[in-house]
Chains A and B, each alone.
Chain A
Amino acid sequence: LAELLGHVALGATTLLAWLGLGSVVLLRGPRVGDARLDFLNRVGVGALTFVLLTFAAGWARLLYPAAYLPLFAVSALIGAVELARSARGRPRPRIDWPRWQLALLALLALYVLIDLISVSAPISSPDAVLYHIADPNLFEKAHRIFEVPWNSSSYEPFSVEMLVLDGMLLWNPVQGAFAPLLLALVALAAVMGFTQRIAGWSGAVLAGAIFFAQPFMVWEATSTFIESGIALAMALSAWNLFRFVRYSERSGLVLAGAFAGGAAGMKYVGLIAALALAAVAVAVLAKRLNLRLALGFAVPAIAVALPWYVKNAVLTGNPFYPHVFGGLNASAARELRDSMRSFGHGHGPLDFLLLPVRLLADAKAFDGGQYLSPLFLIFAPAALLSRRARTAVLFTWAGVLLFIIAWFLTTQQARFLVPVMPALAVLAALGVLELIRQGGLTRGLVIAVTAGALAAGLGASTVYASQFVPVVVGSESTQQFLREKVSNYDGVEWLDERLGPRDKLATDLWTLFYLDMPHITFGTMGDLLPVDAGPAATRAFVARYGVTKIAILDGDAARRRQVGYLRAHLIARVSVRSVRSRTRGHFGPRHDLLVYDVGRRG
């Protein structure tokens, strides 16, 4: 529990550091007239500045706590002063809110607690141990950023991973895992802050609950995924754009561009979201649009996102590697394409029409989609009934649909819908308010459906978080927790006990974060050694990367065949099992991890 409190305290200090650094950067930079948005802009710009500084420090081989901590401490101090200054002139909030609003606020507070418990457990999310945490961990240990050729996902823009890396420099990987949660909390503040401006506090708490009080967001924000960062960037970008459209504040346009660039610097899906927002901006501005305004948005956007695309261009010759313009070997490209298209129910026109139905009733195929709140889909269309804001609602819906079409055509993973959740939450809140105004049966039905969905979501979220409680409060050991939650962890323990820094392991395991020795994989998609590679390519792979040991699962026929091309001898069979569901405790059948010695290094 002391550790949990330590993580929470450092998480709060991190928010102050983002605010402090952002305040310095924006001291003479663009500021908007809305004090609340200006405050959030400074937090967001601070986070993006830390990203770019960490990225630069990584390539300059300066990833040391001694370099990071002074900047962090000074920034946090400035942030504390800024926070005090912002709070001083503000009237005390009234507490005569209706009971339902207080209940929704209490629900949000409960979700923050659920998230804090879930994120404080040892890292166990499969994607995190493969790369979201594993790669920053490698960078932190090497004190520098380097190419990770065995993981094609590491070529995605990695802004949130830089903030994860900051958390590691601050304390440890769990502190790093706090970064996406902090981004989600700031996104929540942005969603509520904006909705309060256009629909009052009733709209704000509704939008906040729809966005944040759902099991899907608990999973998303506490598993070291990065989409909460894109959600924040898109929310701030859209709010700043709103300031420009409504009040002609040029600062709003520049900041909208900067945050759109921030989204594009977090993952390729963020680039798609930023382009959808830019398309909406063009449509909204229409006659007002000129070259100067276009550059006012595009220049900051490109400046913030560019480092990631330049990095890829330098390392691979392709700024969008590995998704566009190729670069992967044929079998890896095929596997990547198949894996991206494996989510969802199909890609035809009928599948698109059935999307709302499937997202509500049969969403498991969208990878965790069954944990999405139904309130987005059920109520966001009702925002179109609002006469007062119909044009704005139509433009927002157009942007959301544009993004969803791209999502539908590329990879239908529910996580990649998070970038449009802030907009959908605002729309859904407006829809709820519009319907409730009708009174009578409509009002009763809307309240019942909303309360029912939130109650069901809270139940699922509690079940999810409860698996982490024993290890967080210390009644379960970390090792025991990892054996139950991380695939093939028994094999990892065996390798960690017997192999050392002089070994170089090649493996098809994806639990890379917990491997203590130098290691490499054959590539997430066989990027480095295709599954159909012959003897010469296999020997070249081993020689090139100085492989001394190989650990592969006995069911991996292609790799076993390739091991046969080497002068390798089997030194151990370790019984392992995969984890199919952490929450339900479902495991795959037991397999053997085959460990081979392939001779001395070099």
Chain B
Amino acid sequence: VDLTELSEAQDRRLMAALAAGDEDAFRGLFGRYAPTAKALAMRVVRQPHMAEEIVQEAFLSMWRHPDGYDPSRGTVRAWLMGMVHHRAVDTVRREESQRRRADDASAGLRDEVTDHADDVVEHLQRPQEQRAVRAALAEIPPEQREILERMYFDGDSQTTIAEATGLPLGTVKSRTLLGMRKLRASLEGMER
């Protein structure tokens, strides 16, 4: 049993307890994922107060509607980060904050670390996974990685990316799929 499996098993136990109304389980999941959730929200919306609000909404939703989690559709982390990401993307598109972010749209992950150095906290329990994901991202061909990052971290839609890059929409989608497959294969390889 590797660390990832142990972590997922612990998440499932906490989620089951949370669904039964266990406040400590809620605090446990909050402690495990709220800092990453805020980093994700911040990366997309780029506004601390908005990011904090998104995190609060997502965890409130989790507390109120734990039945929304379906184990057959993925891990607790994937579900939670999906809620955060969905809200962040929805917010950034609604607020048209692409305009505010235009100047640094090309900033990469390392730039983001520098941008928010004051907010960065210690990597508590997942520095190894962070390194693994960054290494996996680095292995993806640049033309695929750019699309993945624009979609996930900048909140750009496939249509927006196609228009901005001049690529056919079909190419954007196929590169997305190839990049995701490559990323998944790299991460699985690192876990073994």
Q: Do A and B come from one complex?
A: no
